[in-house]
Amino acid sequence: LAEKKVLIVYAHQSAGSFSAAAKEAAVEVLKSKDCSVEVSDLYAMKFKATATAEDITGEVKNSEHFRYAEETKLAWDEGRLSADITEEQRKLQEADLIIFQFPMYWFTVPAILKGWFDRVLTLGFAYTKEKRYSNGIFKVNKTKALLSFTTGSQETMFSPTGINGDMNVTLWPLQNGILHYCGFQVLAPQIFWAPEDATPEGRSAMLAAWSTRLQGLLDEKPLFYAPMDCFDCESFQLKPESVEKLVKEFGPTAGTHCGKPLLPNNQMKAGV
């Protein structure tokens, strides 16, 4: 088997953090499995988070009415994206697996990582109107992607009867709307529940479980999303016949729920 390439996009300010330890565990285990591992350490890189005209080298097409997606698409076509974006796109294109390691901030990724999504996943490079979801650009290389994150809240708070709501709902925009949208195979998220409230032994156990999981990570089955051909090509709504098939065979997903009760763990475990 050819050597597998892994990209870890890492977003924590401190080398002393639990997130850093989780990132280090991934580097160590994956290297021991003969993977080559690159890390984008966003804070250390002082990664630019905001989507601006400075992301384009040379003239923009319409500075009066600057449209980020269209302008960066054009710049990508012409090789005029800024060097930091181009470098991240190179890493992404070479990777077989991308792990996003971050502390959850306000029910989603920290701004610096949101900036990575906003700036690196350029129209044309990462998606087009024709190439998205199960026809997505990264489908071709079967690139896998995984969210690995810490929470501040306990797991009970993120349940269907918890005050934060079902974690599957919170994960939907990230996992369907970004990762699956670009055609990545989305592996089940690695969630470290409230490590700051855990004992040192509890934290060690969490890291040990992650290291164990990492051993077989590249062979894991991805989460299920309804394939593109289930959807009408104009409205992008499920075809009537697909609703029934989907609900019967796979169950609805957290977002495309068809008015049915949400399946437990739909965004958390493969094969549910």
Task: Find the binding residues for its own copies in span 57-86 (CB under 8 A).
Answer: 64-69
Please, what is the minimum distance in Å from the beta carbon of residue 212 to its own copies? 26
Task: Find the binding residues for its own copies in span 240-259 (CB under 8 A).
Answer: 243, 253-259
Tokens 């990570």 found at: 217
28, 31, 52, 140: which one contacts its own copies (CB under 8 A)? 52
Binding status of residue 88 toward its own copies by CB under 8 A: no
* Token pair listed for 192: 């470290």
184 neighbors 98 (Cβ within 8 angstroms): yes
17, 141, 211, 265: which one contacts its own copies (CB under 8 A)? 17
Please, what is the minimum distance in Å from the beta carbon of residue 103 to its own copies? 8
Alpha-carbon distance 248 to 253, whole Å? 12
* Paired residues of 148 in beta bridges: 101, 190
Using alpha carbons, select from 136, 125, 112, 129 the residue that is nearest to residue 51. Answer: 112
Query: Which residue lies nearer to its own copies by CB, 50 or 57?
Result: 50
Q: How far is CA 165 from CA 44, 65, 77, 86, in A?
A: 33, 39, 42, 38
Query: Which residue lies nearer to its own copies by CB, 90 or 260?
Result: 260
Alpha-carbon distance 123 to 117, whole Å? 11
Part of the chain binding its own copies (CB under 8 A), chosen from 78-86, 92-100, 115-123, 204-212? 115-123
53, 140, 208, 209: which one contacts its own copies (CB under 8 A)? 53
Part of the chain binding its own copies (CB under 8 A), chosen from 2-10, 72-80, 177-185, 212-220? 177-185
Please, what is the minimum distance in Å from the beta carbon of residue 20 to its own copies? 9
β pairing state of 36-41 and 5-10: parallel
Which helix (H) or strand (E) is 145 found in, with range?
A: strand 144-150
Task: Find the binding residues for its own copies in span 193-232 (CB under 8 A).
Answer: 196, 226, 228, 231
Alpha-carbon distance 247 to 238, whole Å? 11
* Token pair listed for 85: 């974006």
Query: Which residue lies nearer to its own copies by CB, 105 or 250?
Result: 105
Query: Which residue lies nearer to its own copies by CB, 35 or 113?
Result: 113
- The sign of the CA dihedral 159, 160, 165, 169 is positive
SS3 147: strand
1, 3, 16, 58: which one contacts its own copies (CB under 8 A)? 16
Task: Find the binding residues for its own copies in span 117-176 (CB under 8 A).
Answer: 117-119, 121, 133, 152-154, 156-157, 159-166, 169-170, 172-174, 176
